[in-house]
Amino acid sequence: MDFQTILLIAIAVFFMATLYSTVGHGGGSGYLAILAIAAIAPEQMRPTALLLNIVVSSIATWKFGATGTFRKNLFIPLVCASIPAAFVGGYIEIPNQVYKPIVGVVLLYAAIRLFVPIKGFEQTKKPILIIVLVAGLLIGFFSGIIGVGGGIFLSPLLLLIGWTTPKETAAISAPFILVNSVSGLGGIAVEHGGLPVDSLFVAPLALSVVAGGFVGASFGSKKLGHQGLRTLLGIVLLIAATKMFLTMNSSQTQQSLNEIKSTHE
């Protein structure tokens, strides 16, 4: 890949990291969107997105942890269930024709969620342990398969059920994304005997998200949920979701043409 393309991708992930970290997220779905638009091979998309997720969620964990809104009683059962599930999900290798539509649906879901303003309750409900464990298990497993940290699933769930306020949600989401990204990446590494990434490609992206994560988390920990930024981000994810579906269809068409050609030879 040429230097100019890598530079453009690095600039794009900087903005993704900045936007996502304002709400305590690592940006996994955003990085998948950029990698999809850049036509990066699916086998490299998952580990690359998770590596960048780890960098940004580490910064977000530090920044949002300083707000004093972290809920240990909710975080511990969530990660006890999600960490092993994310490892298993990362270990599972799925075909491109299955992976692309799954990522497309996830990006579409993430985009819709970003268009909806952040709402929460100041009076929260007491979490039910069995529901927390099941939620952590499911979120961890599917996050590992897809290549995200799970924040796009966890945050709306916590707010919808009424377990946390928006600030508490961000303070829990950041470390949740961090540990699940590490676990999912570990599963991928075990499956492949190492990480299928190009270090020369990932290194400049990592530097970009360090800067973006620091800027976004610093802003978000003081002023959470700027809806204008979320809407812009949602538009980008919609474009990426559309591209994933289009490339899926074109791949299937090409495969069909190749099969027809082979039968006539």
Entry pTM: 0.80
- Domain locations in the chain? 3-253
**Low-confidence residues in the chain, pLDDT < 70:** 114, 117-123, 223-234, 236-237, 239-240, 243-244, 247-265
Give the pLDDT of residue 229: 55
**Relative orientation angle of helices 28-37 and 96-115, to the nearest 10 degrees:** 120
pLDDT digits (tens, 9 = 90+) for 166-223: 778 888 989 999 999 999 999 999 988 888 888 899 999 999 999 999 998 888 777 6
pLDDT value of residue 228: 60
> Is the alpha carbon torsion for 176, 135, 228, 13 positive or negative?
positive
Q: State residue 120's pLDDT score.
A: 56
Helix axes 96-115, 42-65, angle to 10 degrees: 30
Q: Note the pLDDT of residue 260.
A: 45
Residue 146's pLDDT is 87
pLDDT at residue 254, rounded to an integer: 42
